[in-house]
Structures are given as structure tokens and as C-alpha cells.
């Protein structure tokens, strides 16, 4: 049976050749490591979000009158609604974590260097899209937490001279966060961002395949491959086959990702949903301690530390630009960070200050 289907496809699309060139004969570097699977894990995380998000849409009502109630119905009345909702909510946090880890490992291994600048830029934008996903999805349950976090975020652009009020108003769809804001964020969350992310992912994957997988600078067996003045695909003839060698490792990491997700659902179900997350939004009562989610804490704390709001936003914009265009700033050829003490120090400084700002933001 399987054989018949294979033969049928062989005649029409040349299946054997695809398998040979894309899977078994597609070689990845001999010294490749588990960190290289994180991109695939992030992709799997995204698909999980799409699937669970679709299931949630079946019962979710995007209207300020019904949103909170519909989410609570999914959690308590619809059979197994809790499972898909928790997978979606916990998954959003884990997806950010995976994307951030992917980015850290890419920076540490210098994979953003020539000729892969564009791959990095596309990835940086995908990180931004992921965070915007979180931000817009956060408002949808229409809880106290989501309402007030969104109120604060959407008030930030008001500090921008001249256009500030207009931007804030456009985001909110009015003076205050209201049902209009909910509908805007809903549209962004379920249509705009998924399409944008898939588009960016297409570019990202195209670049990875077209340029070839980079080899980690550590434990190289072959001499380092250096890009020349004209395009050439980087291949690794003496490496490992993509399938089964690398796919097995990717699958193992995906299973670990889901194991972590179910661990949180089973043992730390309130990790990402404090009390205020199951209290309906009340525009007349500000909860005592609203903190942004962990991935926004460093930016939140940095903004709090800078007394002038406009200056704070300016600095963050500058940091964002530095981040996006980093491969064009760090153009030194040496890609082993261990041979570049100053780059290593910078990397460590960024990670440490990230951690400090997160902890500080959490407990201040």
C-alpha cells in the first residue's frame, strides 16, 4: 500500500529525489549541537499555538461583554477546554523562551555573521512579532490583569511628541481601553500576526536553506568555511544526514518542550495566571500590583529607571535598532566568541543585565 502511494508520487513529483536532496542526502555539519534544534522547536511551538488557538476560537467571543465569560466557560464548562486553553497560555510563554534561547545561541555561536545577516534580521523581526502576539493575546481574556496591563502599555506612546496621542488613540480605538481595543487586538492577534509570522518564517527558512547551515565555531573538524566575494552554498559533505540524524534530535527536543509544557500545566498551573487573571476586567478599579509578564520585565524596569519617559522610549528604540542591525555592526570575521574577549564581555554583560533587570522589575 505504502509502496503503491510512493510509486504513484514518484512518477508525478520525483519523490525519491526530494528525499535524497532534502532529507537523507542533505548533510548538516559534523559538529552540530542540540542548540541548533531550537529554531525547529520554536516552529513546533508556533504550530501548537495555531492549533490550540483555532480550538479556542470556536468558543471564544471577542466582545467586552462576553469575552471574560466565554474564556471562563472554556476553562470550566466545555469538556477539556482547560487543556487547550492552558496549552495556549503556557505555550505562549514557552514559545517566547524558546525563541529567546534560539537567539542567544545564535549570537553565542556567531551564526549571524556574513553571509547570514538577513537571516538574523528576519529572525529579529520574528521575535518582535512573537512578543506582539503575547501582548495582543494578553488582552483577549478581558480580565483585570489583561485590562490594566494593556491600559499601561497603550499609554506609553502618548509620550511621543506630536503624534503620541494619535498613536495611543489609534491603538485603543478611543480615549480608554474599551471593547473597541479588544476588537482591534483580536483582529491583530488572529489574522495579521500569524500571516506576518508565516511570511517572515518563509524568508528565514529560505535563507537558511539557500545559504546552508552554519557550523558551530567550537569543535570544528574541518577548516572553517569562509564566504567569498560571490555566492556559494555552504555544504558539509562529511557531516551527518539531516534525516534521520538531525530530525531525531529535533523531535527529542520537541518532546521535551511539550513535557515542560505539561509539567507547568500539572504542577504550576497558576505560574502565568495570578488572581487578577480570573477576575473580570473592571475599568473603575486598578489592581494593586500589576506587573508585566516576565519577558517584558527588563524593558519595564529600564523604562522605570529613566526619569524622562520620552528619553526612555528613545533609548529602547535605539536598543531595538542595535539588536536588529547587529550583524552590520559586528563585522569582524572571527566567529569564535571565545577568541574575542570584548565581544564575550559584551554578551555576558547583556545577559547579566537582562537577568538583573528582570529580577529587579519583578521584586521592586
Partner 1 sequence: MNAPARLLWLALALLLITPGLGRTEQIVCLDCHDSDMMRKELRAIPEEWRKSVHFQNGIACNDCHGGDPGDAQMAMSPERGFVGKPGYDQIPQFCGKCHIGILKNYLDSGHGRALKSSGSGPNCVTCHGSHLIQRASIDIINEERCSQCHTYERAKVIKEALFETERNIRELRGSIEALHKAGVYTEDLGKELFSTEAEFRTLFHSVDVSLIRQRTDGFLRQLDRIRGEDQNIVRELRFRKNFASYLMLVCLAAAGVLVMLFRTKG
Partner 2 sequence: MDRRRVLKSLLVLLGSALSVSLIYPLVRYLAPPSGAEQGGKVTIKKSEVEVGSSKDIVVRNIPAIVINTPEKGFIALSKVCTHLGCLVQYEKSKNRLLCPCHGGVYNLEGTVISGPPPKPLQKFAVKVEGDSVVIG
Question: d(Cα 171, Cα 162) in Å, to the nearest integer?
Answer: 16
CB of 112 to partner 1, least distance (A): 18
3-state secondary structure of 284: coil
Binds 336, which of partner 1, partner 2, none (CB < 5 to 8 A, cut-off by type)? none
Report the alpha-carbon distance of residue 137 to residue 241 in Å, rounded.
39
- Contact partner, 55, from partner 1, partner 2, none, Cβ < 5-8 Å per class: partner 2
Interface contacts to partner 1, rule CB under 8 A: 72, 75-76, 82-83, 86, 125, 128-129, 131-132, 134-135, 148-149, 151-157, 171, 196, 245, 248-249, 251-253, 255-256, 258-259, 262-263, 265-267, 269-270, 273, 275, 277-278, 280, 283-286, 288, 290-292, 296, 299-300, 303-304, 309, 312-313, 316-317, 320-321, 324
CB atoms within 10 A of CB 261: 19
265 binds, among partner 1, partner 2, none (CB under 5 to 8 A by kind): partner 1
Cell numbers at residue 7, please?
A: 510509486
- Closest Cα partner for 49 from 203, 211, 264, 261? 261
What distance in Å separates the CA atoms of residue 26 and residue 255, rounded to the nearest whole number? 23
Indicate the residue among 55 and 295 with the shorter CB distance to partner 2: 55
Pull the grid cell for residue 1.
Answer: 500500500
**What's the min distance (Å) between Cβ of 70 and partner 1?**
11
- Grid cell, residue 34, equals 542540540
User: Between the CA of residue 16 and those of 12, 27, 28, 243, 266, what are the distances in Å?
Assistant: 11, 16, 19, 14, 44
CA 157 to chain centre: 23
Among partner 2, partner 1, none, the one that 78 touches (CB under a kind-dependent 5 to 8 A) is: partner 2
How far is Cα 102 from Cα 99, in angstroms, rounded to an integer?
A: 5
Per-residue three-class SS string for 133-171: HHHHHHHCCCEHHHHHHHHHHHHHHHHCCCCHHHHHHHH
Give 14 or 244: the residue with its C-beta nearer to partner 2.
Answer: 244
Measured from the CB atom, the residue of 218 and 255 that comes closer to partner 2 is 255
**CB-wise, 38 or 281, nearer to partner 2?**
281
Residue placing its CB nearer to partner 1 in the complex, 121 or 207:
121
Q: From the CB of 146, what's the least distance to partner 2, in Å?
A: 18
Distance of alpha carbon 300 from its chain centroid, rounded?
Answer: 18
Interface with partner 2 (CB under 8 A): 55, 58, 78-81, 83-84
For 77, other C-beta atoms within 10 Å of its C-beta total 11
- What is the C-alpha separation between 88 and 115, in angstroms, rounded? 36
- In the complex, what is the shortest distance from the CB of residue 78 to partner 2, in angstroms, rounded to a whole number? 6
CB of 10 to partner 1, least distance (A): 27
Closest CA to 152 of 278, 306, 296: 296
Shortest Cβ 318–partner 1 spacing (Å)? 10
Residue 79 binds which entry of partner 2, partner 1, none, CB below 5-8 Å type-dependent: partner 2
- Nearest distance in Å: CB 325, partner 1: 11
Taking the complex as a whole, how short is the minimal distance between the CB of residue 26 and partner 2, in angstroms?
22
Residue with cell 470556536: 58
Q: What does 118 interact with, of partner 1, partner 2, none (CB < 5 to 8 A by kind)? A: none
Of 127 and 254, which has the nearer Cβ to partner 2? Answer: 254
**Residue 75: which of partner 1, partner 2, none does it interact with, CB under 5 to 8 A by kind?**
partner 1
Binder of residue 84, out of partner 1, partner 2, none (CB less than 5 to 8 A by kind): partner 2
Count, in order, helices (H) and strands (E) of the chain.
15, 2
Amino acid at each position: 500500500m505504502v509502496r503503491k502511494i510512493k510509486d504513484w508520487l514518484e512518477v508525478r513529483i520525483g519523490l525519491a529525489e526530494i528525499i535524497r536532496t532534502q532529507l537523507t542526502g542533505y548533510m548538516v555539519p559534523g559538529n552540530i549541537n542540540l542548540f541548533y534544534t531550537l529554531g525547529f522547536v520554536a516552529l513546533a511551538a508556533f504550530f501548537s499555538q495555531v492549533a490550540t488557538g483555532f480550538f479556542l476560537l470556536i468558543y471564544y467571543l471577542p466582545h467586552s461583554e462576553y469575552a471574560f465569560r466565554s474564556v471562563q466557560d472554556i476553562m470550566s464548562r466545555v469538556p477539556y477546554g482547560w487543556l487547550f486553553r492552558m496549552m495556549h497560555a503556557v505555550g505562549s510563554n514557552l514559545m517566547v523562551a524558546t525563541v529567546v534561547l534560539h537567539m542567544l545561541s545564535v549570537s553565542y555561536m556567531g551564526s549571524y555573521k556574513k553571509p547570514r545577516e538577513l537571516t538574523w534580521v528576519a529572525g529579529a523581526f520574528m521575535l518582535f512579532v512573537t512578543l506582539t502576539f503575547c501582548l495582543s493575546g494578553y488582552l483577549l481574556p478581558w480580565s483585570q490583569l489583561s485590562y490594566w496591563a494593556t491600559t499601561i502599555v497603550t499609554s506609553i506612546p502618548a509620550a511621543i511628541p506630536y503624534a503620541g496621542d494619535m498613536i495611543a488613540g489609534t491603538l485603543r480605538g478611543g480615549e480608554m481601553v474599551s471593547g473597541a481595543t479588544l476588537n482591534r487586538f483580536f483582529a491583530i492577534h488572529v489574522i495579521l500576526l500569524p500571516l506576518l509570522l508565516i511570511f517572515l518564517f518563509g524568508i528565514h527558512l529560505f535563507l537558511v536553506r539557500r545559504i546552508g547551515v552554519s557550523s558551530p565555531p567550537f569543535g570544528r573538524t574541518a577548516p572553517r568555511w569562509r564566504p567569498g566575494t560571490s555566492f556559494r552554498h555552504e555544504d558539509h559533505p562529511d557531516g551527518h544526514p539531516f534525516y534521520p540524524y538531525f530530525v531525531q534530535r529535533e523531535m527529542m527536543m520537541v518532546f521535551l518542550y511539550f513535557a515542560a509544557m505539561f509539567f507547568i500545566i500539572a504542577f504550576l498551573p497558576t505560574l502565568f495566571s495570578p488572581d487578577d487573571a480570573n477576575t473580570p476586567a473592571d475599568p473603575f478599579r486598578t489592581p494593586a500590583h500589576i506587573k508585566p509578564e516576565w519577558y517584558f520585565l527588563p524593558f519595564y524596569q529600564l523604562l522605570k529607571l529613566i526619569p524622562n519617559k520620552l528619553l526612555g522610549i528613545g533609548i529602547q528604540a535605539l536598543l531595538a535598532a542595535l539588536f536588529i542591525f547587529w550583524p552590520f555592526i559586528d563585522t569582524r570575521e572571527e566567529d569564535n566568541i571565545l577568541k574575542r574577549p570584548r565581544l564575550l564581555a559584551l554578551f555576558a554583560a547583556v545577559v547579566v543585565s537582562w537577568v538583573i533587570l528582570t529580577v529587579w522589575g519583578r521584586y521592586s
